[in-house]
Amino acid sequence: MSSSIVLIGPSASIPALRERLTPGADVQTFTDTETLEALDHIVRSKPRIVALDYQFSLTSRGTALIDRIKDDPGLQMCEVRVVAHDGALSRVPQRRKPNTPAAVAVDDDKAALDPRGTRRAPRVPIRDGVEVLVDGNTAILVDVSVIGAQVLSGKMLKPNQRVRVTFSDGQGMIRCNGSIVWASFEMPKGQPTRYRAGIELTSADVQQMTAYAERYRKK
């Protein structure tokens, strides 16, 4: 394993953050806009420490990066630390308890609606690979009800964003207006980065949506 330190934070803050680390240490720096480049370097070099600026660690990309490192068996010996503005370094626990889900990284200052919370209508889990259009961009449908849907998208989706959702197959097309209620940024191992989002549908035809959900219900 490399003995280096990877430091990630806003470009203007990196010089000050670097001074708070061990003097003479081999430090590789990345800005907060270079998250994917930083992750690639971390996976390849397996540094002893990954140090994150405190404010960056609270963002969606910072949270997703921490979860990605902690969930990778190959990075178990990599220690993640958060550099506070007062200069203190706080160690982030390396491993969560078994079966504990990753933290939701929300692109919003407000608390997001829990995607597993109380529903006004039952959600139907959808089989793998079913695609829908969100503002004309392809997304994977995870589950759906007559008033909402959960999707995985390669394009950024943010809370309160108004969208147009299209469900289509050989039996017809359903166009709905919607609003993003919650969103999270994910960096799954071996897959492209993506956004997971919950959409509230405001103009869906109940009968059409019910039939569509049954056609693609996960068995």
In the chain the domains, ranked by start, together with CATH numbers, are 5-92 (3.40.50.2300), 124-215 (2.40.10.220)
Q: Tell me the C-alpha distance between 29 and 34, whole Å.
A: 10
Count CB atoms within 10 A of the CB of residue 75. Answer: 19
Cα–Cα distance list, 85 to 32, 81, 97, 105 (Å): 16, 13, 29, 21
Is a pLDDT exceeding 90 seen at residue 140? yes
pLDDT by residue (tens digit) across 27-42? 999 999 899 999 999 9
Q: Tell me the C-alpha distance between 51 and 148, whole Å.
A: 39
The answer for residues whose C-beta is within 8 angstroms of residue 195's C-beta and 6 or more apart is 107, 152, 153, 154, 155, 156, 157, 183, 184, 185, 186
Q: Tell me the C-alpha distance between 32 and 147, whole Å.
A: 36
DSSP character at residue 104: P
Kindly report the average pLDDT of the chain as a whole number: 83
Q: How confident is the model at residue 76 (pLDDT cuts 50, 70, 90)?
A: confident
Angle (nearest 5°) at CA 208 between 205 and 214: 135
Q: Tell me the C-alpha distance between 28 and 30, whole Å.
A: 7
Beta strands in the chain (DSSP E): 5-9, 27-31, 49-53, 79-83, 89-92, 124-125, 131-134, 137-144, 148-153, 162-169, 172-186, 194-201
**Among 58-62, 92-96, 127-131, 175-179, which is the least confidently predicted range?**
92-96
Q: How confident is the model at residue 5 (pLDDT cuts 50, 70, 90)?
A: very high
Give the distance from CA 120 to its chain's centroid: 25
pLDDT by residue (tens digit) across 177-200? 999 999 989 998 888 999 999 999
